[in-house]
Chain A
Amino acid sequence: MSNSLYGPLPDVAEDAGYTEPPERRGFFTDTSVCIGCKACEVACKEWNAVPDDGFALTGMSYDNTGALGASTWRHVAFVEQTRPHQVGDGVDTRWLMASDVCKHCTHAACLDVCPTGALIRTEFGTVVVQEDICNGCAYCVSACPYGVIDRREDDGRAWKCTLCYDRIGDGLEPACAKACPTDSIQYGPLDELRERASARLNTLHEEGVTEARLYGEDDSDGVGGAGAFFLLLDEPEVYGLPPDPVVTTRDLPAMWRWAGGAALALAGGVALSFLGRR
């Protein structure tokens, strides 16, 4: 149970109490081959029966989804960038496309703070909301450092990606990965995905794509490594991702120490007030 709140964790499911759990599963989303088709968004909605989240046009390139949320469990970001030609005059325009998803953190703040036990760690090391338990307190919404989970207001409960818990238990791959035509979204055992990602990164670097980088694959990062990690072609914040997220519960022991001190101060303050004669 060491490092239960912060730091690398060799087996996240075992730490959660499972005996001999299956290999940890996750997503590797290689954004360098994403073509922005949004098949992942559609497949996710279809399989999980996720309701619509409005039909607004955002004006943000081809992105009319906006962000992850209670009714958006895959979100394809479209970033349009222009920069001067390397040689000669004029500008180059490039499109970055990336399918975002719940990170299924090793140290998941949403799960830590959930007061009802509605959010659980599955045997696959993923994080899932039990919809028959959640009472919509919305603590998870404010705790997530990626802004993933949200409360569906007409329904009152919190919702997010389940990594298709109902499919992977049957040996199927999640709907988004199944639908992805370019294998930008890859599903599998996390260790295997990390190896594949590091090989892909090397290839890209050798081909001169020096801006390629992995995001969320490092288990010494602020969330103990993500179960869903990414290959990006620019800084994370360009895609709407936090550059260096840290699970808030890292500081929980210190928070309680300060609150305990404050409680003593309150009792002391009251006691002090009774020292006078009147």
Chain B
Amino acid sequence: MRPGRDGGRGAGREERMVPRAEFRSYYGRPVLKKPRWKAPHMPGYLYLGGLSGASSTMAALADATGRPRLALTGRLTAAAAVAGGAGLLIAELGRPKRVLNMLRVFKPTSPMSVGSWILAGQGGFTMAAAASAVTGIAPGLGRAAGAAAAVTGPFVATYTGVVLADTAVPAWHEAYRHLPLLFTGSSLASGGAIGMIATPRGDAGPARRMALIGAGLELAAAGALERGVGLRERPDLVSEPYRAGRAGVFLRSGRALTVAGAAGAVAAGRSRVAGVVAGLALTGGALCTRFAVLYAGHASAEDPKYTVVPQRERLTTP
């Protein structure tokens, strides 16, 4: 009989590491397949989708409240980000030429199907709004498209939390409450960050406040995930991949950058340079957070203890 071994290089250096789990396995091999989603595609898409969603929403409100400069930044960012994000998604397919099969059906049980349709809407609306803003053609239609993108935007930023959670990977599935909120915070911070970088100080007030609200939510959600707060079964064990290894390094780096960026956003009202530096730090923080989520999923699937131990305990504790 082979009791499983608690894997994880450098595990001993971690502070809140879970005591070695005794469990049985087949030669220590994983039960689950390691997700095929990889870096930089998946985290890059998560970031760009979030950026597009927050920016399109910001642009519509800037438009409605008479802030043309911020509206232009938002429209251009939203369109560029969704285009880049879609490119990464397509590149990650095993058969990129079959990308249009994503729109072959509408399937409510598949978050990726629902997301593909939302993304198609976001792409169309943001492109139209950006094209109109740049060329000055059909401003009324551009404004309507921008308003529509303010409806699709929040969903583009958050549906990816459902995509990841709707898997058998314990670190993702059990975090189905955290991931959408984490992505909301991170997306707000990302949109605010580009807003601060690309808009003159006087027009960027809402972007600075977005960055602060977003950073706060991102830090809160990431902190809860890291400590296992709000996870149902074996929170200490299931959240371990967010603390250990590569994911842990990215999550902590993301936190440091986000804290620095938030501090910079406070100072950005008086200094454009502070705004640019803060924007870069928040962007780095949002990217690190997304990489942490991907690598936590990989680690969670690769070690059978994360699959077996909670399930075994479910069976033995009535």
Cross-chain contact B311 with A242 (CB below 8 angstroms): yes
Most chain A beta-carbon neighbours within 10 Å: one of B165, B180, B314: B180
Complex interface bits, B79-113 against A, C-beta within 8 A gives 1, otherwise 0? 00000000000001111101101101101011111
Complex interface bits, A137-150 against B, C-beta within 8 A gives 1, otherwise 0? 11101111111111
A272 CA / B216 CA spacing, docked (Å):
14
Name the one of B26, B101, B154, B162 contacting A267, with C-beta atoms under 8 angstroms: B154
List B255-309 residues whose CB lies under 8 Å from chain A. Answer: 269, 297, 301, 304, 307-308
A77 shortest CB reach to chain B, Å:
6
B105 shortest CB reach to chain A, Å:
4
B248 contacts the other chain (CB 8 A): no
With A237-B312, A266-B154: A258-B37 Cβ-Cβ less than 8 Å: no
The range of chain B's interface size is 35 or more
Name the one of A115, A147, A148, A262 contacting B184, with C-beta atoms under 8 angstroms: A262
B73 contacts the other chain (CB 8 A): no
| Interface-side segment among B126-134, B199-207, B239-247 | B199-207
A264 CA / B258 CA spacing, docked (Å):
22
Q: Which residue of A lies closest to B27 (CB)?
A: A60
Name the one of A149, A235, A276 contacting B206, with C-beta atoms under 8 angstroms: A276
A263 CA / B151 CA spacing, docked (Å):
9
* Majority secondary structure, B binding face: helix
Cross-chain contact B188 with A113 (CB below 8 angstroms): no
With A115-B102, A117-B107: A265-B181 Cβ-Cβ less than 8 Å: yes
Cross-chain contact A266 with B99 (CB below 8 angstroms): no
Count, chain A residues at interface, CB 8 A: 79
Cross-chain contact B61 with A271 (CB below 8 angstroms): yes
Q: In the assembled complex, which residues on chain A have CB atoms less than 8 Å from the CB atom of B169?
A: 142
Complex interface bits, A102-139 against B, C-beta within 8 A gives 1, otherwise 0? 00000001001111111000000000000001111111
Cross-chain contact A272 with B209 (CB below 8 angstroms): yes
Name the one of B62, B167, B312 contacting A143, with C-beta atoms under 8 angstroms: B167
Cross-chain contact A238 with B1 (CB below 8 angstroms): yes
A266 CA / B192 CA spacing, docked (Å):
12
A123 CA / B115 CA spacing, docked (Å):
29
Q: In the assembled complex, which residues on chain A have CB atoms less than 8 Å from the CB atom of B105?
A: 115-117
A80 CA / B292 CA spacing, docked (Å):
38
Q: In the assembled complex, which residues on chain B have CB atoms less than 8 Å from the CB atom of A145?
A: 32, 168
Cross-chain contact B61 with A113 (CB below 8 angstroms): no
Q: Which residue of A lies closest to B57 (CB)?
A: A270
Q: In the assembled complex, which residues on chain B have CB atoms less than 8 Å from the CB atom of A158?
A: 94
Name the one of B101, B109, B269, B308 contacting A237, with C-beta atoms under 8 angstroms: B308
Cross-chain contact A67 with B161 (CB below 8 angstroms): no
Cross-chain contact A266 with B1 (CB below 8 angstroms): no
A22 contacts the other chain (CB 8 A): no
Cross-chain contact B30 with A147 (CB below 8 angstroms): yes
Q: Rank and list the top 5 A-B pairs by shortest CB-CB distance, nearest first.
A: A136-B94, A156-B94, A240-B26, A262-B180, A135-B98
